[in-house]
């Protein structure tokens, strides 16, 4: 015990400590932080040993990780280092520098340890270290705290305990290591200051090249999680904040391309004639003639939260969705439909706007798209439709309310407007309550005789997986599981569809049931394609049963729905109208996974990575196998991902001023 108590004093009185003087505290902090981060990384690598399968993987993670850790701690110590230089010149500042440094280093030590402690939970959910998703969730404390307290009590206790312990012992440890004076002479002191500054700046930059360290420099694997393990969670979150602030265009990640080449490529690979793109101010705007020529139909989109194909029996997944499986046999079912991303806002972006994904946040959350950005709601509003969004939670979440009201939606109906809520979880009203309210709304709109479009967004299939009792037969031993949430979501969907089929509005309405994304996208690939597959089926009185095996992207759904509804007009959407024949060489799916972009054709998958050469793969038994890259497909992929950033930044994706209203044909 005496030895333990004497340890801080012994270190403080060492020759190195006396030589470094006030810099000793910086040295101690750097060493402590590096040891903590290395221990955390080794623990994570051991935990993920099934994916860290070779000595090369482990070496790359530890060596590259040490480089990232040194960069992080070097950034942290820059300000105290500069202040210490000033204090050595002006000794009166020494007391201020002492307490600033102790508090500064203690706070960052707490942050570093806390983010490492919560990392396993984040990996379990997103298969990545904490990144921009963590930052975005902090904007909505009410919903997130309700979710955490409901489903992650042990994780909260562990993280909170680690935070308090680190705060107490970290502060005590760092305070004990302050050395006020250095035993060096003036000339040596000057050399020491210059050396320390050089080491810190070089450590932060971690490169003698023209670019400082970035995640691409330490990426080594096609398994995105292994590349994430090289980072530490503080660096990962800080880098995400930096990228969010910059909102870089795709060109900053994948390289530039002349604008006209971008426009030419995306036009050529659409199914619309090149001569139809004739509006100068909107380079992708073209007239789309609807296949259906009768009285325009109503539209209801039932957007399913987190319902990946692996939960859908009809797509080869678990037997959890008997009601959806039945609908897939009764309607127009898409067997090869792929989401554009891994977040709800990305799914909304694709399904409601037909916009191509980018490495930036979805347009639902970006500033320039909060007004006059094209959505099918804004188009249908121009055709005298009533447009509404129905959600069981708080519609401001993920900025949905602002985006919708600014872009064509007449009405927002969220939990505060519900007539009755029998079960309310962390994310709001249950799916049954949501559908009951939707049924009331649709009946009322039908009585008014005005055509309508309703987007109904579910939320029960979301962590912590809360749903009412006695509704489903359990599939797992525990109640709150992803499988049960998916099964309950299907149960609620089935109840609603039965009501809808016996309603007055069924006759004149087209329904799309589609998922926004899979519940947890993970895997060892650069883009885990199999987790991007989602269910999608169009049903309605006049929709004939059909099993569609073409390769389909979420961006194809909006043009197809408008065509089925009988809405002909000019739109900037690049998605295919699936009521028409789609040549095999034009079938594709676009997928954005963090900063990686995948362009999938029926034959191959081309992946673009930030500041790295493109890679190409083929699918064999749901696994990606490396193959030779095709330059023409690389150019096509690049044009599609660059178009999104270009269109957003220059506000080229909006409702055309040219208006075409087709006359109803009864």
3-state secondary structure 515-572: ECCCCCCCCCCCCCHHHHECCEEEEECCCCCEEECCCEEHHHHHHHHHHHHCCCEEEC
Q: Quick one: DSSP state of residue 306?
A: T
pLDDT at 464 over 70: yes
Q: Are strands 509-515 and 298-304 parallel, antiparallel or unpaired?
A: parallel
The domain 259-579+632-649: what is its CATH number? 3.40.720.10
pLDDT at 520 over 90: no
Q: Which of 501, 600, 515 is nearest to 557 (CA)?
A: 515
pLDDT at 150 (0 to 100): 76
As a whole number, mean pLDDT of residues 388-406 equals 90
Cβ pair 170, 178 in contact under 8 A: no
Q: Mean pLDDT lowest for which of 269-278, 580-589, 653-662?
A: 653-662
Distance CA 644, CA 365 (A): 14
Write out the DSSP string of 430-443.
-HHHHHHHHHHHHH
What global pTM score does this model have?
A: 0.82
pLDDT at 9 (0 to 100): 61
Q: How far is CA 597 from the centre of its chain?
A: 13
- State the CB neighbour count (10 A cutoff) for residue 301: 23
Residue 602 in tokens? 């029926």
Residue entry with tokens 């935990």: 47
pLDDT at 146 over 80: no
pLDDT at 245 over 60: yes
Cβ pair 451, 386 in contact under 8 A: yes
As a whole number, mean pLDDT of residues 515-532 equals 89
pLDDT at 139 over 80: no
- State the CB neighbour count (10 A cutoff) for residue 164: 10
Q: Burial-class residue 542 by CB neighbours within 10 Å (0-12, 13-18, 19+).
A: exposed
pLDDT at 144 (0 to 100): 76
- The phi and psi torsions of 225 (rounded to 5 degrees) equal -70, -40
Q: How many CA atoms, within 13 angstroms, populate the side-chain half-sphere of residue 213?
A: 25
Q: Quick one: DSSP state of residue 533?
A: B
Query: Residues near 146 by Cβ (< 8 Å), separated by ≥ 6?
Result: 426, 427
Taking CA atoms, 589 is separated from 317, 347, 529, 558, in Å, by 20, 13, 10, 15
Burial 644-653, CB ≥16 within 10 A → b, else e: bbbbbeeebb
pLDDT at 7 (0 to 100): 57
Taking CA atoms, 294 is separated from 510, 544, 665, in Å, by 13, 16, 5
Distance CA 514, CA 332 (A): 12
Q: pLDDT-based confidence at 224, cuts 50/70/90? A: confident
Distance CA 59, CA 208 (A): 22
Q: Which of 178, 155, 156, 47 is nearest to 104 (CA)?
A: 178
As a whole number, mean pLDDT of residues 194-223 equals 84
Q: Which of 333, 307, 300 is nearest to 487 (CA)?
A: 307
Residue entry with tokens 């897939």: 328
Domain parsing of the chain, residue ranges: 22-241, 259-579+632-649
As a whole number, mean pLDDT of residues 51-63 equals 94
| Residues paired with residue 598 on neighbouring β-strands, in sequence order | 591, 607
Q: Which of 173, 127, 58 is nearest to 528 (CA)?
A: 127
Distance CA 665, CA 497 (A): 28
Distance CA 638, CA 647 (A): 14
Q: Quick one: DSSP state of residue 350?
A: I
pLDDT at 219 (0 to 100): 82
Q: Mean pLDDT lowest for which of 27-31, 327-331, 620-624?
A: 620-624
Angle between helices 23-47 and 55-89 (to 10 degrees): 160
Distance CA 533, CA 225 (A): 20
Distance CA 577, CA 575 (A): 7
User: Over the stretch 367-385, which tens digit does the pLDDT of each residue have?
Assistant: 889 889 999 999 999 999 9
Q: Quick one: DSSP state of residue 472?
A: S
Residue 323 in tokens? 């009601």
Which alpha helices (DSSP H) does 48-185 contain, by range?
55-89, 94-126, 132-137, 141-151, 153-176
pLDDT at 185 (0 to 100): 77
Cβ pair 424, 414 in contact under 8 A: no
Q: pLDDT-based confidence at 411, cuts 50/70/90? A: very high
| Residues paired with residue 569 on neighbouring β-strands, in sequence order | 288
Write out the DSSP string of 626-656.
EE---HHHHHHHHHHHHHHHHHHHTT--S--
Query: Residues near 316 by Cβ (< 8 Å), separated by ≥ 6?
Result: 309
- The phi and psi torsions of 411 (rounded to 5 degrees) equal -140, 140
Distance CA 35, CA 37 (A): 6
State whether residue 254 is helix, strand or coil.
Answer: helix
State whether residue 359 is helix, strand or coil.
Answer: coil
| Residues paired with residue 386 on neighbouring β-strands, in sequence order | 452
Q: Which of 170, 204, 218, 223 is nearest to 29 (CA)?
A: 170
As a whole number, mean pLDDT of residues 381-409 equals 92
Distance CA 404, CA 246 (A): 24
pLDDT at 633 (0 to 100): 95
pLDDT at 113 (0 to 100): 97
pLDDT at 462 (0 to 100): 87
pLDDT at 74 (0 to 100): 96
Taking CA atoms, 60 is separated from 40, 48, 225, in Å, by 15, 15, 13
pLDDT at 214 over 80: yes
Distance CA 122, CA 146 (A): 17
As a whole number, mean pLDDT of residues 267-295 equals 92
Q: pLDDT-based confidence at 663, cuts 50/70/90? A: very low
């Amino acid at each position: 015990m005496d030895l333990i108590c004497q340890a801080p004093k012994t270190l403080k009185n060492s020759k190195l400590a006396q030589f470094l003087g006030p810099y000793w505290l910086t040295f101690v902090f750097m060493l402590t932080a590096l040891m903590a981060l290395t221990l955390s990384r080794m623990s994570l690598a051991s935990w993920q040993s099934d994916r860290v399968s070779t000595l090369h993987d482990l070496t790359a993670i530890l060596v590259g990780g040490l480089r990232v850790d040194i960069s992080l701690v070097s950034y942290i110590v820059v300000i105290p280092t500069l202040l210490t230089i000033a204090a050595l010149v002006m000794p009166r500042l020494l007391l201020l520098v002492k307490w600033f440094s102790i508090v500064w280093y203690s706070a960052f030590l707490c942050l570093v340890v806390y983010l490492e402690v919560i990392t396993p939970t984040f990996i379990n959910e997103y298969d990545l270290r904490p990144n921009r998703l963590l930052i975005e969730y902090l904007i909505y404390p009410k919903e997130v705290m309700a979710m955490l307290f409901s489903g992650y009590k042990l994780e909260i206790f562990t993280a909170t305990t680690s935070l308090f312990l680190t705060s107490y012992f970290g502060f005590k440890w760092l305070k004990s290591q302050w050395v006020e004076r250095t035993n060096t002479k003036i000339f040596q002191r000057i050399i020491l200051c210059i050396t320390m500054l050089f080491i810190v700046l070089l450590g932060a930059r971690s490169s003698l090249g023209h670019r400082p360290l970035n995640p691409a420099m330490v990426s080594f694997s096609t398994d995105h999680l292994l590349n994430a393990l090289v980072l530490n969670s503080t660096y990962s979150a800080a880098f995400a904040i930096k990228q969010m602030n910059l909102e870089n265009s795709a060109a900053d990640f994948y390289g530039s391309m002349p604008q006209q080449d971008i426009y030419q490529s995306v036009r050529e690979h659409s199914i619309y004639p090149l001569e139809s793109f004739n509006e100068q101010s909107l380079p992708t705007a073209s007239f789309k003639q609807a296949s259906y020529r009768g009285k325009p139909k109503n539209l209801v989109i039932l957007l399913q939260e987190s319902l990946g194909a692996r939960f859908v029996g009809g797509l080869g997944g678990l037997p959890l969705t008997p009601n959806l499986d039945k609908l897939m046999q009764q309607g127009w079912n898409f067997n090869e439909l792929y989401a554009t991303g891994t977040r709800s806002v990305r799914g909304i972006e694709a399904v409601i706007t037909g916009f191509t994904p980018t490495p930036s946040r979805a347009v639902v959350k970006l500033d320039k798209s909060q007004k006059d950005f094209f959505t099918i709601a804004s188009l249908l509003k121009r055709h005298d439709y009533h447009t509404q969004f129905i959600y069981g939670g708080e519609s401001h979440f993920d900025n949905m309310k602002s985006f919708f009201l600014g872009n064509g939606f007449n009405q927002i109906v969220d939990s505060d407007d519900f007539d009755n809520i029998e079960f309310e979880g962390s994310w709001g009203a249950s799916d049954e309550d949501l559908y009951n309210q939707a049924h009331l709304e649709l009946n009322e709109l039908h009585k008014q005789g005005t055509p309508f479009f309703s987007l109904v967004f579910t939320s029960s299939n979301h962590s912590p997986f809360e749903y009412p009792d006695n509704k489903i037969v359990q599939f797992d031993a525990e109640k709150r599981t992803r499988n049960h949430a998916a099964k309950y979501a299907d149960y609620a969907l089935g109840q609603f569809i039965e009501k809808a089929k016996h309603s007055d509005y069924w006759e004149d309405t087209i329904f799309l049931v589609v998922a926004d994304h899979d519940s947890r996208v993970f895997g060892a690939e650069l883009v885990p394609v199999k987790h991007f597959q989602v269910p999608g089926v169009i049903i309605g009185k006049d929709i004939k049963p059909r099993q569609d095996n073409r390769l389909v992207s979420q961006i194809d759904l909006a043009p197809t729905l408008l065509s089925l509804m009988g809405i002909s007009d000019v739109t900037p959407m690049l998605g295919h109208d699936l009521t028409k024949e789609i040549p095999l060489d034009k079938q594709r799916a676009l997928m954005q996974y963090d900063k990686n972009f995948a362009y999938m054709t029926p034959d191959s998958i081309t992946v673009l990575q930030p500041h790295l050469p493109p890679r190409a793969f083929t699918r064999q038994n749901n696994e990606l196998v490396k193959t030779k890259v095709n330059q023409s497909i690389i150019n096509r992929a690049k044009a599609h991902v660059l178009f999104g950033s270009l269109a957003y930044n220059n506000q080229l994706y909006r409702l055309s001023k040219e208006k075409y209203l087709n006359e109803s044909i009864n």
